Structure formats: structure tokens, C-alpha cells
Structure 1
């Protein structure tokens, strides 16, 4: 049997004070709180883990530290469970606290009891873990992806659920496109989120792995990796431009030459085999944009 207790001494004090100043019947915790907001002291033996738990690894040393804290201070934050068959309770969130409580030798644990279907339980578990647990970036990304796939959330809706910008959600989801070796390095804390964000823009997986080895061996900072990736990208662009230059007719070369003199900027022509394409004017700052705009205005004045 589970036994119920109020939300704490603060609430009890308020109720007691009200009873001394009001002749009306003394309210109980059950009458002033929603049923799901009451804390139940539940026998640990009746609690079963959540099969949809997004966290797949629990650090043993951290669990031992939490267990020691629980022995001394008790449970600060109740776990959340739902009632299932055979008088058991399934964890919605708080499995780390549950494991540490068992390790601490507790017989019961405070818990909120909620009613939730499997999808609702999954969403609550994922969101709670994303916000409160020390998940690595890949675990967060997997949790985000499961919310998108299994709870039918858009990235915008997901961002609202977890209190993150949509761009942040997108950056995490992109990590799942990385090779398994890079994802494993992130999980082992050998690669930071910043490093990974720089590497995810590289399409060549072998090159990604080469840079990963370089990061580990030379202890490269995020800034150094960003500069390395930028340098490689610029090299690829030059190679691409060189290949295009070999195929372009002579008038295109003359046009690029005239435009570069006119705008004092790098000019690139993208041309398909059919002869259509576009002219790209490069710039490095807002000041250069203003200079290019000024030159266009001068040309208009001559027409």
C-alpha cells in the first residue's frame, strides 16, 4: 500500500495558520491540491524501470555520490511514476534518483503518480531528462529525434517543449548524421558539441575521421577546428573553381576579369553544361557590401 503525505512543512504551516484564523473546516492536502500533485511514499520493490528510458548509461561513481547524499539528506526531488498492472508503478522520470535510492538502502521513495499513455509517458520522460539530467550531446540528440518521430512533434514544437531555439534543436539532430566513430567520441566526452558542429559540415567521412584523430592527438580547440574546416572548404572551392575554369568559354574569363576590376571583389561564375548559370560576387564585410552597392549606383547614373 502507498501512503500519502502533503507537499511539505510549508504547506502544512499554511493550513495550520488558516485553521486558527478561520472557523471554516480545516482543509486537507487532498482538498487543496490536484490529486497528481500529492506526493506518494511508494515501496521501492513496487517500482519498475521505464522501458522507454532515454538514458542508456548511468555513471556508477555519480550514482554512489548521489546515494551518499540521499542517505544524509533524503530525496530532495520526488520521482514521477504511473500506476500499472499488479499494483506496480512504472517510472516516467527520475530513474537515476530511483537507482541511487535503492543503492542507499531506502525501502520507500517519494513520487508523484500521474496518468499517462505510452506516448504521453515517453514525451514526459524525454523532456524531463533533456532538461534536468546530465545527458551527453548524442543522448540529447537521440531524445530529440524520438520526440520528433514517436511523438509526432515538429522541430518548432519540440523547441517549445524543451525551451530551446529551433536552431539549437536542429544542431543536435544533425549530430546523428555523423559517423558512428564520431558519435562514440562525443559520448566518451572526447569531442565537444562545438567540435562536432564544425565537423558535421564536412561531407567526406574519411576526412571527418582524420580530423577527429587530429583533435584527440593535438588537443585542438573548437576555434582551431573551425579554422581547419574553413581552410579545407576554401581549398575545395578553389579546386571546384579550377575545374569549372577549365570548361568555361573564353568570354566568361573576360567577364570575370572585368567584374573583379569593377567591384574589387572575387567573382565566381557557376555554369551548367547547358550554358545557364549565375554570377556570384564575393564579399567579406558589410563595408564591402556598401562599396559594391555604391558602384552599382554609379553604373545606374551612367545609363
Structure 2
């Protein structure tokens, strides 16, 4: 059997013709193994290694199998993107789901865009590409934002521009990383939504966060239900404080301030604290008035 009659891996509609077209050479920079920078080329799957910068840490098995079946039937619609590491060696920049599904489908070759990128550029490309996907969970997005800020020296404002998101969205995601690991895992596994997680961030005590998180799951509470619970809890803690903030002045103490005020011809106040301490305040209007009061008290 000639090489031209060997079965090629399944490709998307029109992609096979693109790969065989001389017009795919857009940089005119040939690599030593015959592939072309900037082009789409068929690469052996075994020559490609995973991207260590990919923020995605979880691939849903059912969705991956569905993609595998689609690839087996219809081929690769969108090529993956790789960077050249060395002779016949590449590293994924983006498209890890397609790469994994192609492996499951038994493909030996996969269409790929070949690019040159240093580690920081590759990190930015991989993170930004993945952030713009719709199937990352909120914690994966938050970790991606954090890495871009820390490792690429971006401000939140610069990051917002880079990923075309609002500054508020960036901040809300980053705040999720303050949650206990158990709650972050709950977000990853879709036990709670980002709305639930944002509400839980507002709780100061970690143990209380976890207790309410477990209640949300057990009772299948909506975000609104959770917000109502937190509002009630806040009111409970604030109500005693309001009562303690204004300890009452006794009739005897009130009579004393009135008599003392008459004696010094100035306003006199008692300021009491819940702890029992406080202040006796004598008001004066000027330096002369203060000296007058001092003379009265020294009599």
C-alpha cells in the first residue's frame, strides 16, 4: 500500500485541504522537521507534551467522551496550538481537551498551529485563551487571574483589559481564593455556584463559613436563601451591640450633671461605655470660659 493510500486521521471539513495547501506557509520559516512556523501542520500526537501552564485541572469525563466520539466521527474542527521545543518535539499552548479527546479517539496525528513563544508569553496565551472559555469553573478562573497578576506582573486594571472583563469581575473572582479549601472544592465540583461562594466570602469566621456552606448543600438553598440567612445572622449580632452602645444614665447621675452644670454654668455630660468606664465631660466655649470653670472647681 502506498503512503498516499494510508488512512489519515479524521479532519474537520475543509481542514484537510488547508493542510495540503501551499498557502499554509505564512512565515516562510521552515523548521528542521519540515513543519512551518505559523502554519497548520499534522503532528504526531506522541511528539506533543501537555501544557504545564494550563489552568484547567479537571476534565469532566462524560464531556470528554462526547468530544472523543465527535472527533472520531467528524474529525478535528479547530486545530490545537503548540510551540516548538526542539526537533520533532512540541508543547501545547491551548486545546488540551481536544488533545486528550483525540488520544482517546485513537488518533495518531493531530492538526496544530505552530508558534514560537517564551515561557511568559506562553503562560499569558494559555491563561487568556482558557479564561475566555465558558466551561472553566470560577475557582479555575480565579487561579488564572491570580497567576497572570503574580507571574506576568499585571495590575487588576491591566488584567481586566487583557481578558476583556470588568475590574469588578476580576476582584470578585480573586476574593474566592480567600475561601477555605473545602468550599473552593465545592465550587470546583459544582456543589455551589459562584453566587453562593461570593456570599460566603463575606463571613469573617472560617468555621461559620463551612457550617453555612454545608447547610446550603444539605438544604439545597438558593443564593437568595443564603443571602437572607446571612442578613438574619448579621442582625442578630448587631442587635446586642446597639443595646450596649447606649448604656443608660441613672436618675441620680442625671441629677448630678444638672446640678454640676448649674454650678459651673456650662454643659456637663456623662458618657458611659458597656464595660462600665466612661467620661465626665465639661464643655467650654473659649479660653476665658475654661479659666472661669477652673477657678470655680478650685474654690
Q: TM-score, normalised by structure 2?
A: 0.71
Residue 66 of structure 1 deviates from its aligned partner by 0.6
- Does residue 62 of the first structure (1) align with residue 57 of the second (2)? no
Aligned equivalents of 1:238 and 1:158: distance in 2? 41
Residue 110 of structure 1 deviates from its aligned partner by 0.9
Residue 86 of structure 1 deviates from its aligned partner by 4.1
Deviations 1:189-220 (A, max 9, x none): 11110111111111011211121121111111
Residue 230 of structure 1 deviates from its aligned partner by 1.5
Aligned equivalents of 2:134 and 2:233: distance in 1? 37
Residue 240 of structure 1 deviates from its aligned partner by 2.9
Summarize the Cα distance change of 1:168–1:247 in structure 2 as closer, same or farther, 3 Å threshold: farther
* 4+ runs deviating over 4 angstroms: 7-10, 31-37, 247-251
Structure with larger RCO (C-alpha < 8 A, sep 6+): 2
Q: Which residue of the partner structure matches residue 292 of structure 1? A: none
Residue 169 of structure 1 deviates from its aligned partner by 0.7
Summarize the Cα distance change of 1:82–1:237 in structure 2 as closer, same or farther, 3 Å threshold: same
Q: TM-score, normalised by structure 1?
A: 0.70
Residue 8 of structure 1 deviates from its aligned partner by 8.0
Summarize the Cα distance change of 1:212–1:111 in structure 2 as closer, same or farther, 3 Å threshold: same
Q: Which residue of the partner structure matches residue 132 of structure 2? A: 131
Counterparts in 2 of 1:265-276, with a 5 A limit?
none
Q: Which residue of the partner structure matches residue 266 of structure 2? A: none
- Does residue 48 of the first structure (1) align with residue 43 of the second (2)? no
Counterparts in 2 of 1:112-151, with a 5 A limit?
112-132=113-133, 134-151=135-152
How many aligned positions are there? 237
Q: Which residue of the partner structure matches residue 226 of structure 2? A: 225
Higher Rg of the two aligned structures: 2
Residue 243 of structure 1 deviates from its aligned partner by 3.3
Q: Which residue of the partner structure matches residue 108 of structure 1? A: 109
Q: Which residue of the partner structure matches residue 195 of structure 2? A: 194
- Does residue 244 of the first structure (1) align with residue 239 of the second (2)? no
RMSD: 3.2
Aligned equivalents of 2:227 and 2:104: distance in 1? 44
Q: Which residue of the partner structure matches residue 22 of structure 1? A: none
- Asked if the contact 2:148/2:154 (under 8 Å) is kept, the reply is yes
Residue 32 of structure 1 deviates from its aligned partner by 9.0
**Tell me, which stretches of 5 or more residues in structure 2 are unaligned?**
1-11, 30-35, 255-276, 280-299
Aligned equivalents of 2:238 and 2:130: distance in 1? 42
Residue 152 of structure 1 deviates from its aligned partner by 0.9
Residue 97 of structure 1 deviates from its aligned partner by 0.6
**Tell me, which stretches of 5 or more residues in structure 1 are unaligned?**
1-6, 17-26, 252-272, 276-303
Summarize the Cα distance change of 1:154–1:65 in structure 2 as closer, same or farther, 3 Å threshold: same
Q: Which residue of the partner structure matches residue 153 of structure 2? A: 152
Residue 38 of structure 1 deviates from its aligned partner by 2.3
- Does residue 81 of the first structure (1) align with residue 76 of the second (2)? no
Summarize the Cα distance change of 1:210–1:247 in structure 2 as closer, same or farther, 3 Å threshold: farther
Residue 223 of structure 1 deviates from its aligned partner by 0.6
Structure 1 or 2: larger helix share?
Answer: 1
Residue 74 of structure 1 deviates from its aligned partner by 0.7
Q: Which region of structure 1 is more displaced relative to structure 2, 57-66 or 69-78?
A: 57-66
Aligned equivalents of 2:130 and 2:229: distance in 1? 35
